[in-house]
Amino acid sequence: MESNGNRIRIACVQHKVLADKYENIEKFAELVGSGQFDDVDIISLPEMWNCPYTTELFPEYAEPEMGDTWLAMSTLAGKTGKYIVGGSIPEIDDSGKVYNTCYVFDRSGRQIGKHRKVHLFDIFAHGQQVFKESDTLTGGDSFTTFETEWCTMAVNICFDIRFPESARLPALAGAKVIFNPAAFNMTTGPVHWELGFRQRAVENQLYMVGTSSARDPEAGYTAYGHSIVTDPWGTVIMEMDEKPGIGIAEIDLDYVETVRSKLPLMSARRTDVYELKSK
């Protein structure tokens, strides 16, 4: 599919994650071959889509760059001519460190972006939710943008969205779309999921794309679901429910410039005073 000017069709794949890595890969390949993405430009996957979201399992499922899951995404992007924002998978480097990593591929299957989750999800939410990614994962040390035929885009992963800098720095680097593959839970999802995506979209006057895994009450970690796309005015233009499926949204990059011209937040920043001084 060729580019349609400044309009882009994005598909969020709200995938039900299985225990078998290769079943997850096969399910995605079958979905890509089903024709449901024929009129789509970009396919977005959820966080940790090839393995259960369980800290002690991340090293077991981890694979190096250009491993089997990487190869499957690259091959599918090249065969279909679609960009793939590859959610995230556990990545192991030469030193044995494991990262929560998103790979991005262009229409030819070439890797054009790689983001390692910067902010690890270590949380003790009023006794309702306890999770510590740092038990087995190492945090990334940079934010990530990538170039497309339309514009600069960016990718963060889940907990990164909690930190304003994760969106502001890519926005200052020219990003007009930020993907955030995620797995919010049943404690934080109902109250902060939509709010977070609308908030970052409004602050930075860009599109935010959140792709979640589907909700599975029988899993050790229950994801909220509700994959979402918000526009530069903070409007939710697509939101799914909790079940497995595909959510498609068309975004218009011209609207980014319209909003930024009507409400010039970025150009009105006062960087000369953004420093707290004691008196």
CA dist., res. 84 & res. 100, Å (int): 17
Known catalytic residue at 117: yes
CA distances from 70 to 50, 78, 208 (A): 11, 12, 24
Tell me if 131 sits within 8 A of 54, measured CB to CB: no
Known catalytic residue at 102: no
Among the listed residues 158, 176, 239, 242, the single catalytic one is 158
Among the listed residues 27, 117, 176, 242, the single catalytic one is 117
Among the listed residues 12, 21, 47, 114, the single catalytic one is 47
Known catalytic residue at 239: no
Catalytic residues: 47, 117, 158
